[in-house]
Amino acid sequence: MNRLGPVCLLLALLTGCAVFKPKKPAEEPNPFALPAGAPRNARVGYVQGYPLRSASVPILLIPGTIVREGLQAISRDPQLNASAVLEITSVRGRLAVARIVRGQPQPKDEVVLPDPELSEEARSLAP
């Protein structure tokens, strides 16, 4: 008597039938869409410590960031609210100096390139 047949039948009954569902075809990625959780504003750097009565602030640039003189940027606090409008006046290596156009940035504020929404929010800051 062959004992292998009932054992195979018992294993087949215990494990059940495996059903494989075909995966949905991957959607074509949109080259202009931001990945989920990505910020809308390109980060440039961070405001460094400076005398609060100064009319300009030093910005430590993120490695690989290229900025030029005359570029307008916006600093924002940890809650992502605009704190100041800045204009880059000089760049040396990874350090840029920016003139404060509106508002008052704080040390460690993030400096980003503005989008229309953030620019509108920054216009309401005190000169």
Which structural domains are found in the chain, ordered by start? 42-127 (2.40.10.170)
- 93 conformational bin, left if phi > 0, alpha if psi -120 to 50, beta if neither: left
Q: Pick from 108, 6, 99, 102: which is nearest to 49 by CA?
A: 108
Which pLDDT belongs to residue 108? 93
pLDDT mean for each 10 residues of the chain (127 residues) = 70 64 63 59 91 91 92 92 94 95 93 86 83
Tell me the C-alpha distance between 122 and 124, whole Å: 5
Handedness of CA 34, 37, 39, 45 (dihedral sign): negative
Q: What global pTM score does this model have? A: 0.67
For residue 23, what pLDDT is reported? 67
